[in-house]
Amino acid sequence: MTTFDPTGTESVPVTSAPAPHDSYRVGTGTRATRVLGLFTIVSMGWLVVFGLGFSPADRDQDEAVRILYVHVPTIWLAYLAFVVTAIASALYLFPKAHSLGWDRLAGASAEIGVAFVAVTLVVGALWGRLTWGVFWQWDARLTLTALLFVSYIGYLAVRRLGGTHEQRARRSAVLGLLIVLEIPLLHFSVKLWRSLHQGSTLTDPSGDVKMDGLMLFSLFVGVIAFTLLYVWLVLHRTRAMAMEDLLDDRQLDSALEARRAEARIDAAPESAPEPAPEVGTEDR
C-alpha cells in the first residue's frame, strides 16, 4: 500500500517531514535542516580558509596539494553514501514491513554518492594533471573508482524504470545488494591486476601523500564539511522523493476518480473513447 504519512511516522531514520501547518509553504526544509545547513556553510568556510589560506604548500606538489582537501573527502563520502545505500536496501528488503522510507534513503544516498564520485574523478584528474602530468592512470584505485561510478549509474537507471513504488523499491533493493556483491570481486580483481602490472612509471597515487600538522587538519575540516553537506543533501533529497511519491499517489487518486466517473457516465456501453492503453498490448 502506498499511503504517505505526512506526520512522518513512516520509518525514515532521519528527522520527520514538515509538519502539516507548514503546508502554506511546502518545501523540504525544517528547522533541523536549516541549522544543519548553517553548520555546513560555516565548515565549508573553514575549509576554504584553511585549505587555501593557512595550510602550507607541499614540498613536492606545491599548491596542487590543496585540491586533495576536496578530492579525498568526496571519495570518502561517496563510499559512505554507497554503504548507506547498501544498508538501506537490506533494511527495505528483509523485514516484512518493507518500509518505503528505506528505499527512498537508498535512492537518495546513491544519487548523492554518484555525484560525489563524479566530483572525485574530475577533481582527481585535475590534481593528476598538475602532479603527475596526466589526467588518468590505470592503477587499482582509479580503475575501481571508475567501475564504482558506472555500477551505480546502472543502479540509478534501474530505479527509473517505472512501475509502482513497491516494484521500484524491490528491484532497486535487490540490485543494490547485487552491487555490494560485485564490489569485493571488482576490488580483488583490479588489485591483483595492478599489483602484477609492472608498467607504472609514475609516483604513488593520492592518499599516500605524507601530511602533517595544518595540512592534516585542513583535510579533517574537509571531511567534516563534506559529511555535513552529505547529510544535508540526503535529508532534502529523501524528503523530496517522499513528496514525489505522495504526488504519484495523489495522481493515482485523481486517475481513479476519472476512471470511476467514466463508469457512471457509461450508462450505455462505449460512449466516449477511453484514454486507456489497448487491452492486450501490455508489455511482456
Q: Which chain residues interact with another protein by CB under 8 A? A: 1-2, 147, 150-151, 153-154, 157-158, 161-164, 166-167, 170-171, 174-175, 177-178, 181-182, 185-186, 188-190, 192-193, 196, 248, 251-252, 255-256, 259-260, 262-263, 266, 269-270, 274-280, 282-284
Half-sphere exposure of 85 (CA within 13 A, CB side): 29
Least CB distance from residue 163 to another protein, whole Å?
7
The residue (of 5 and 182) whose beta carbon lies closer to another protein is: 182
Cell 593520492 belongs to 206
d(CA 278, CA 267): 21
d(CA 264, CA 259): 9
Which amino acid does the sequence have at 193? W
The residue (of 186 and 214) whose beta carbon lies closer to another protein is: 186
The residue (of 194 and 236) whose beta carbon lies closer to another protein is: 194
Instruction: Determine contact, residues 58/215, Cβ cutoff 8 Å.
Output: yes
Least CB distance from residue 119 to another protein, whole Å?
20
Least CB distance from residue 89 to another protein, whole Å?
12
The residue (of 170 and 209) whose beta carbon lies closer to another protein is: 170
Q: Which of 267, 268, 264, 263 is nearest to 276 (CA)?
A: 263
Least CB distance from residue 276 to another protein, whole Å?
4
Please give, one letter per residue, the 3-state secondary structure of 102-123: HHHHHHHHHHHHHHHHHHHHHH
